[in-house]
Amino acid sequence: MKILYFYQYFTTPKGAWSTRAYEFARRWAAAGDEVTVVTSVYYKSDIQPDRFVTERTVDGIRLKILNIGVSNKQPLWQQAWTFLQYAAVSTWFALTEKADVILASSGPITVAIPALAARYFRRRPFVFEVRDLWPEGAIQLGLLRNRLLIAALRALEKFCYRSAAMTVALSPGMADWIRRRYGIRNVEVVTNASDCELAERVARNGFELPDWARGKKVAVYAGSLGLMYGADQLLAVAAEMERSGGGDVCLAVIGTGSEQQRLAREAARQGLGNIRFLGQKSREEVFAWASRSLCLLSVVRPLEFFDLASPNKLFDALAAGVPLVQDTQGWMKDLLEREQCGITVPRGDVRAMAEAVLRLARDEDLRRTMAENARRLGRERFERGLLAAKMQRILHEAARR
């Protein structure tokens, strides 16, 4: 079967971004499907073009790389322009590339435009994958305020759900939101996945902590450092740990973003010696740090939108076999409590988050139990191969219908 996949942020494990598209697509190709991914150039990706449209094959995946740069550091208008450019150029491939089924992975919502073209001009079935709720997330974050634009984007979103043979949501919370708001019933859940194979390979290779971290217990935050993620809370967590006598616990922050330099300067101004900003790292390096960590951290702004999300931080913790300390109040909270593989604190409560980290540092039995539960859950329910196979079945069923 020929799968045509539209996704703007494709990267391999050598990059510093989610590898869901790569890991799923290479498994589908190995199973006999022909997979073509139309992508652009994300600043955290390792995929780079040498002309406006570069064709390349990576692990059995045919790539069409559009030389359109996308970055979270761009102003909003520039990001919107790159989204529209990608949608316009990709529509050509939607109308000309051989395909039995189309997969469009959003956000942004504009990635669905080429899929809709294939659906209505070529009668190709299309599966709509919802990684982020667009435009709902942008509205709650205050990035979209124009009522006419919001109405137009919501109309496009509804049209996508009604046109798709199947909608795939990345969390149970997203799926429930889509069903409740738009009355859509053909919704499946395929969450982000735990890359257990990569985590185990990295752990076998071993990893030596740098001098500043040796002899200490290290909590790791790996993610974007921008206002929308509430990364400024990390400084407050570090300060609370110092005040609470956690001198043997430190915080390693991996990632880049608009707030990175300001946060590093503020940490130096406050004299916080227990937090280090390590910059951007590849997926392999993230797992190397995770393999030696006390726990992983996830912090977000106190918005309902984030309670529905499916962050890689959760699945990386499960793959690495370490507890997660986080502050969303939706399906992730329920999962961590039910499976006893992490700790949820109230939204924005940095003192509670610091106390949770120190609790894991002081109670080795608790940490060991949560780590074992995390490893088991990652392998039994969220292992990459299991979810790739589920997604492949959805695509095949859409093509048959």
Instruction: List for the chain the helix, strand, coil content (%; round to 5).
Output: 50, 20, 30
What Å distances lie between residue 35 and 4, 67, 106, 206, CA to CA? 6, 20, 18, 34
User: Measured between alpha carbons, how far is 400 from 125 in angstroms, rounded to an integer?
Assistant: 9
| Phi, psi values for residue 145, rounded to 5° | -130, -15
User: Measured between alpha carbons, how far is 205 from 211 in angstroms, rounded to an integer?
Assistant: 19
Closest CA to 308 of 290, 326, 332: 332
Instruction: Encode the chain (401 residues) as per-residue pLDDT tens digits.
Output: 999 999 999 998 888 788 899 999 999 999 999 999 999 998 888 888 989 999 999 999 999 999 999 887 777 788 889 999 999 999 999 999 999 999 999 978 999 999 999 999 999 999 999 998 888 877 887 778 888 988 888 899 999 999 999 999 999 999 999 999 999 989 999 999 999 999 999 988 888 889 898 889 999 999 888 766 778 899 999 999 999 887 899 999 999 877 888 999 999 999 999 999 999 898 899 999 999 999 999 998 888 888 998 889 999 999 999 999 999 999 999 999 999 999 999 998 999 999 999 999 999 999 999 999 999 999 999 999 999 999 999 999 999 97
Structure tokens at 123: 């009668």
Instruction: Spell out the CATH class of 196-380.
Output: alpha beta
CATH 3.40.50.2000-classified regions of the chain = 2-193+383-400, 196-380
CATH 3.40.50.2000 matches 2-193+383-400: yes
Q: Is the pTM of this model over 0.85?
A: yes
